[in-house]
Amino acid sequence: MRALIAAVCIWTGLHGSAVVAAPASTTDTTSTTAPEIESLRKKVDPIISGTDDVELRHHADEVFRLIDDLLNHRREAEALKYLNRMLQADPRAFNYQLTYGEILARRGQPEVLESRAKQAIQSAEDDGTLRRAYRLASVVPPQPVPALLKRGDDIPELVLIQIEGVSQFWLEDLQKVLARRLGMRVIIVQTAFSMGPASRTGETALAEEIRKRLIQGIDDDQSLAAYMKGRGYVRRELETNDREVLQAYRIVLNRWSTAKNVKDFDDAVEKARASGYQWNADSVLDRLAGTLQPYRGPKRWFMGVTDDDLYAKSSRYLFGTAYTGGDVAVISAARFSAKFYDESPDRPRLERRLVKQALSSFGFMLGVPRCSDPDCARAFPNSVADQDAKSDQLCDKCRAGFALALGHSVN
């Protein structure tokens, strides 16, 4: 029974920090009436005046909604007061930093807008904020990604494939680092490849994990089997019905565990339902390889980059996968983005996470074995915390393996 109860621990805390990030863009709320704004203001004012910064960030959605309402009703001076306070609590709400800069620029302080735009260009993660920052800073944004073509030379080349609109800004960050570190040509292209329908939802994934433990517990524990039978649960339903197995497991927790474990499980279910969809990594890799067949050739490697979440039979999620000794890989940025963990955006951190995974997957394509050095970029990570803890540099052994496969030294 203890092992069964412990299953909830696998899923609690899946999304890490409880920090609430600012919306990616302001909302058009011109239909909001003046009385509605005043009602929201009465709710927000005590939060603004009597709350510390950590607690205030938990109410960010309400405060930013009031700011949007005031701006859409051209009540700029009032909005500025709330912006000032909110950006003290959440200085990495870059979209609103840009709004703040625009207001002050209109009031004769263009240097503030210039500074905020540069900060957003350096650290924001979402494309909407980045493109807005580039425009406000008068910087040319990335050009459209070209289509994949058959090669016209035999120069070694790593092809990064933009899968269904994954951020071009992220890809360009990754391209620059890999080209420098690997000492080879790295290009970004797009193809007709589509991820297709998701293989499962977060709720399905949670139910699959709980199902194994619950049914095993029923088989091993006669008292549990009798209790479940008395509650009307049929094994066939538990084996096929996700909602049924989650409901049954909650009843078990409520009967044999603590109130805290029940709450942890409820939170885990809520997070699983909010986590969206997942795609089977093996299926994605095989279909991507089929799409790329006309373009494959010697010394040309392909790495699809997606922001959809991947999983495999033996793994609840994957950061990436590749054909060992082959020429196709796919990596996922889903669990590298701040949005996944409700964290503040940090594109340099996102870049480091992507680089480590790209080096790991490319190493497999080159036939370099999994690394046992815990500090190597290619060390196996059990979590994003492990991904962050290791270096973004290759160890000497992996560097030598890359050099042998590529025919030149790497950094």
Q: DSSP code of 25? A: S
Residue from 271, 222, 218, 266 nearest 246 by CA? 266
Which contacts qualify for 133-141: CB closer than 8 Å, 24 or more apart? 133/94, 133/98, 136/98, 136/101, 136/102
pLDDT at position 53, please?
87
Rounded Cα distance between 5 and 213, Å, is: 9
The predicted-structure confidence for 148-200, as pLDDT tens digits, reads as follows: 999 989 899 999 999 998 999 999 999 999 999 999 999 999 999 999 999 99
The yes-or-no verdict on residue 26 having pLDDT over 70 is: no
Q: Which domains does the chain have, with CATH numbers?
A: 34-136 (1.25.40), 157-198+277-406 (3.40.390.10), 201-274 (no CATH)
Where are the alpha helices (H) located in 51-126, listed in sequence order?
53-58, 60-72, 76-89, 94-106, 110-123
Average pLDDT estimate for 119-140:
96
pLDDT at position 52, please?
83
In terms of phi and psi (left: phi > 0; alpha: psi -120 to 50; beta: otherwise), the region of 183 is: left
The yes-or-no verdict on residue 18 having pLDDT over 70 is: no
pLDDT at position 55, please?
85
Instruction: Judge contact between 44 and 66, C-beta under 8 A.
Output: yes
- How much of the chain, in percent, has pLDDT values that exceed 70? 92
Which residue has 């709450």 as its token pair?
A: 263
pLDDT at position 104, please?
97
- Neighbouring CB atoms inside 10 A of 127's CB total 17
The yes-or-no verdict on residue 21 having pLDDT over 70 is: no
Which of 24-38, 307-321, 353-367 has maximum average pLDDT? 353-367
Interacting residues of 339 by C-beta distance below 8 A, sequence separation 6+: 21, 125, 126, 345
- The pTM assigned to this predicted structure is 0.83
Rounded Cα distance between 238 and 229, Å, is: 12
Which of 151-155, 205-209, 305-309 has maximum average pLDDT? 305-309
pLDDT at position 274, please?
80
Q: Which residue has the higher pLDDT, 276 or 368?
A: 368
pLDDT at position 5, please?
57
Rounded Cα distance between 113 and 65, Å, is: 22
> Which backbone phi and psi does 329 adopt, to 5 degrees?
-140, 165
